[in-house]
């Protein structure tokens, strides 16, 4: 049995349709017109112990709603979740001992007191034994360099420092599972690197199972082997990043350095993406052409000085998947599940 099992999960929110026009403010007091919005629509997946899953999707896709159901904050409209054999919203207290949560947009720490004091409160709440608390705190102090700011009130911390403090707080009670909802949002490149190192380290050395949502594809490339893509509440892809690249990322880019400026490069089944002096970027579909086919066509007109083939960035593949979801929504009012 997998550590996390999600079956046919669904969450509908009721939204009030506000009255407009004459005395709308007063009429809204008795308003009972609701519409239903499906935020998570029949999602199923499993996560094995020790996995680090990237859970991505565009804004409003349903990622945070899924996490809130997995953490027990929200109760699903339908479907089941089993985490370490427990139903999160039914066994909230026991479940809380098993999980740590970081919402990048909102700190779990007390705003007006330093992190170290929040940690002491968490120690009491989670009944963390002294030895475990000291050991974890010292480890996280080293990994996240907490000593720089652990005595500064949270409201005075930079975003990067705040995230580091939040990550340590989420891990103090030794949870088996960590839910990270956009932990790198808004932080600079160096701080991102440090957060990623920490996430990688606790997954590797402590075997913590991690579900990570992010809009930064570099987080996914650097941390995850597997990723799930959701859009409009539906699961569009669940598999390895390697498979995603080989199934959807068939476009390659040939970067060629010529000995003169490029001209007349009208090669069927290719697109010239960019030209810069004597350098040209040509995109082609590797299932229709090979790099040497393109190279030979270019060599008919030019002398080639140098060339490289660029693999597709995960970012561009994901952008295309989001885009195809959007196009389908425009066409027939819903997003079809990709054939994966």
Ligand X SMILES: Nc1ncnc2c1ncn2[C@@H]1O[C@H](COP(=O)(O)OP(=O)(O)OP(=O)(O)O)[C@@H](O)[C@H]1O
Name the residue among 317, 331, 330 with its Cα closest to residue 236. Answer: 317
**Which helix (H) or strand (E) is 257 found in, with range?**
strand 251-258
Stretch that binds ligand X, among 62-70, 187-195, 286-294, 321-329 (CB under 6 A): 62-70
Q: Are 254 and 299 in contact (CB under 8 A)?
A: no
Q: Cβ 15 to ligand X, closest distance in Å?
A: 6
* Angle formed at CA 266 by CA 257 and CA 277, multiple of 5 degrees: 30
Identified binder of ligand X from the candidate list 9, 43, 61, 187, rule CB under 6 A: 61
Q: Are 227 and 220 in contact (CB under 8 A)?
A: yes
Stretch that binds ligand X, among 16-24, 57-65, 201-209, 236-244 (CB under 6 A): 57-65
Distance CA 254, CA 35 (A): 50
Closest distance of CB 232 from ligand X, Å: 9
Q: Which is nearer to ligand X, 47 or 67 (CB)?
A: 67
Of 52, 55, 63, 184, which lies in the binding site for ligand X, with binding defined by CB under 6 A?
63
Q: Which stretch binds ligand X (CB under 6 A): 53-61, 91-99, 166-174, 240-248?
A: 53-61
Q: Which CB, 304 or 337, lies closer to ligand X?
A: 337
Nearest to 292 by CA among 260, 252, 248: 252
Q: Work out which of 17, 18, 34, 37 binds ligand X, going by CB under 6 A.
A: 37
Q: Is residue 13 a contact point for ligand X (CB under 6 A)?
A: yes
Among 3, 41, 47, 64, binds ligand X (CB under 6 A): 64
Q: Is 60 in the site for ligand X (CB under 6 A)?
A: yes
DSSP-assigned letters across all residues of 104-141:
TTB-SS-TTS-HHHHHHHHHHHTT--HHHHHHHHHHHH
By CB under 6 A, name the binding residues for ligand X.
Answer: 13, 15, 37, 39, 57, 59-65
């Amino acid at each position: 049995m997998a550590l996390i099992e999600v079956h046919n999960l669904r969450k509908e929110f009721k939204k009030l349709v506000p009255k407009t026009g004459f005395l709308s403010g007063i009429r809204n007091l008795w308003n009972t017109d609701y519409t239903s919005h499906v935020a998570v629509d029949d999602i199923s997946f499993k996560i094995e112990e020790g996995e680090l899953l990237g859970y991505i999707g565009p804004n409003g896709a349903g990622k945070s709603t899924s996490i809130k159901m997995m953490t027990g904050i929200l109760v699903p409209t339908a479907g089941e979740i089993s985490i370490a054999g427990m139903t999160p919203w039914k066994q909230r207290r026991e479940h809380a001992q098993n999980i740590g949560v970081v919402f990048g947009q909102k700190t779990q720490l007390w705003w007006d007191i330093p992190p170290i004091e929040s940690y002491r409160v968490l120690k009491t709440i989670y009944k963390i034994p002294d030895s475990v608390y000291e050991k974890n705190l010292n480890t996280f102090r080293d990994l996240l360099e907490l000593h720089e700011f652990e005595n500064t009130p949270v409201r005075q911390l930079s975003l990067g420092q705040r995230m580091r403090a939040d990550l340590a707080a989420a891990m103090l009670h030794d949870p088996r599972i960590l839910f990270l909802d956009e932990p790198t949002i808004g932080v600079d490149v160096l701080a991102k690197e440090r957060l990623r190192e920490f996430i990688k380290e606790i997954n590797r050395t402590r075997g913590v199972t991690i579900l990570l949502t992010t809009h930064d594809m570099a987080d996914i490339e650097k941390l995850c082997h597997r990723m799930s893509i959701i859009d409009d509440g539906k699961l569009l892809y669940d598999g390895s990043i390697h498979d995603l690249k080989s199934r959807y990322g068939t476009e390659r880019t040939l970067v060629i350095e010529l000995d003169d400026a490029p001209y007349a490069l009208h090669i069927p089944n290719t697109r010239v993406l960019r030209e810069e002096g004597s350098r040209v970027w040509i995109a082609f579909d590797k299932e229709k052409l090979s790099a040497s086919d393109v190279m030979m066509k270019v060599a008919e007109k030019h002398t080639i000085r140098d060339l490289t083939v660029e693999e597709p960035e995960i970012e561009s593949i994901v952008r295309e998947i989001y885009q195809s979801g959007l196009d389908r929504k425009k066409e027939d009012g819903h997003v079809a599940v990709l054939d994966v």
